[in-house]
Amino acid sequence: MPRKYNKKVKKIEDNEEIEKIVTYEYMAYRYVYVYDISQTIGEDIPLQSHCINNNKMLNFFEKIKQFSKFPVYEKELPGSLKGYYDAKKKQIVLKQSLSIDDKTAVLLHELAHGLYDDFDYSKDRNLSEVFVESIAYIVANYFGLDTSTCSFNYIAKWAKGEPKIVVDLGNKIQKCANQFIDEIEKFEMQEMEIAA
């Protein structure tokens, strides 16, 4: 919950000591009652993957395509498949009919597979998918793209409702997400220097 409080502070302005009231803003927490899904009855809640039907991130999408260490292709893909990283061909394929924001989210996910995913996909696909989607969510959020409508359901699906899987991967996820963000920012700086 956002909170504010006012505090009198002494400052020096124009070589005079004056007293000013400064407003500080901070976040506070309070106790609330919550229920775990296991404490409820009724039909299971379906985990549906939602799309991000926006085209606000075109510049960022183009920048990430340029940043990509792998060629990025857009094709029509069957069914609900939004994209994939082909480890043998070292390429990324995105579903052509997706919105720009969806393509951006999927591209970040597939890049995370190519750059940071060291799981044996044939044995640990669930860990791999939780890992890369968590990285993609953090990176997308950092650059202003909210993917929570699809990322949270996707992560919960592959974690099979076990939050411990995400917690156990937490440090690795954060380390790789930070590295991903740093690499994108360095790439942006290089692009700006070239343009100048």
What pLDDT does 122 receive? 87
- Report whether pLDDT(48) > 60: no
Count of structural domains within the chain:
1
Q: pLDDT at position 139, please?
A: 97
For residue 108, being part of any structural domain is answered with: yes
Nearest to 24 by CA among 46, 41, 2, 39: 2
CA–CA gap between residue 192 and residue 186 (Å, rounded): 10
Structural domain contains residue 126: yes
Structure confidence by residue, pLDDT tens digits, 121-145? 889 999 999 999 999 999 999 999 9
Categorize the per-residue pLDDT at 96 as very low, low, confident or very high, splitting at 50, 70 and 90.
very high
% of the chain beyond a pLDDT of 70 = 93
User: What's the average model confidence in pLDDT over 103-116?
Assistant: 96
User: Contact at 8 Å (CB) between 86 and 98?
Assistant: no
Is 41 domain-assigned?
A: no
pLDDT given for residue 37 in this prediction = 65
**Which whole number is the average pLDDT over 72-82?**
93
Q: Is residue 99 part of a domain?
A: yes
Residue 164: inside a domain: yes
Question: What is the rounded CA–CA span in Å between residue 95 and residue 193?
Answer: 33
pTM greater than 0.85 (yes/no): no
The domain containing residue 77 runs over which residues?
48-195
